[in-house]
Structure 1
Amino acid sequence: MSTDFHQHQNPHPSSLEPFPRFIDSAPPNSANYFSSPMAMAAVQLLASSSSSHLGPKKPWISVPAKVSNYLRLRYYQYEVTFGVYVMTPTEKLVFNTIVLTIFTALFYALFWGFQPFVVNALCRLIYYMTGSLSNAPQLCT
């Protein structure tokens, strides 16, 4: 029975598969899609028409409209990334309030707590390198 299965699995071992499993088993010219002169002419025509400057100009967009479109795009990406788009308006309000509170606390900590942290770290570095704070600036005393 097993020999019967192997005989019917591939009756013509030298024939090419319609969808080769590996690149090495593909016919030699199968990847050359643009071998005909007509295909090359079409590709060159498309390339030249897209790079020509004779086409219609883009409409002028004001700076506030660009900023508005940019912010809308970023909010859309935020909604899709974190799944906010599937929430009800009340859930969106609660979720966005939590996110805004976290970012506000983070920025508050960065602006008001970062300077003392840097000063303290520099004073410790001076102390570790020199062995005393006598050579340290007035800021460390």
Structure 2
Amino acid sequence: MATDFNQHPQHSSLEPFPLFIDSAPPNSANYFSSPMAMAAVQLLASSSSSHLRKPRISMPAKVSNYLRLRYYQYEVTFGVYVMTPTEKFIFNTMVIVAFIALLYALFWGVEPFVVNTLCRVKYYATGSLSNTHQLCS
């Protein structure tokens, strides 16, 4: 049998879920007055202020935690966590190959590009390559 909240004589404008503390019923429980809640609050207050020193974490554990966090972020960012193990292997292999190709291009392809660019800038600025025969040959 359903009860309408507006039919009760003592709480004529009471909402089923009060939005503000003023609209709560006058006999509502004060949750922080119970002994159990006060003990929990005191325990939380004492535990947060009583820590003397954080436990030391070894460097390999820090590195391991850092790498795990970064791999987790990579999996969540690129959606790898929803793939099957075979799909993960193929996707991770493609990412590693693309990363190695990028490193190869950076280390062995950037130097000739920079040298050619500097030679062209010098030629456009001066009109000749007279003093740069070894560099721009």
**TM-score tier after normalising by the smaller chain length:** 0.5 to 0.7
Distance 1:111 1:56, change over 3 A: same
Q: CA deviation at 1:128?
A: 0.6
The corresponding residue for 1:123 is: 119
Q: Deviations over 1:101-124 (max 9, x none)?
A: 111101001001011111111111
1:33-44 paired onto structure 2 within 5 Å? none
The corresponding residue for 2:4 is: none
Q: Secondary structure at the match of 2:119?
A: helix
The corresponding residue for 2:87 is: 91
Output the TM-score relative to the length of structure 2.
0.62
Q: Deviations over 1:19-77 (max 9, x none)?
A: 9xxxxxxxxxxxxxxxxxxxxxxxxxx8xx96x6x623111111111111100000000
1:43-82 paired onto structure 2 within 5 Å? 55-82=51-78
Distance 1:133 1:93, change over 3 A: same
What amino acid is aligned across from residue 94 of structure 2 in structure 1?
I
RMSD: 2.1
Q: CA deviation at 1:137?
A: 5.6
Q: How many residues matched?
A: 94
Structure 2 unaligned runs (5+)? Answer: 1-18, 21-44
Runs of 4+ off more than 3 Å: none
Conserved? CA contact 1:126–1:136, under 8 Å: no
Identity among equivalent positions (%) equals 73
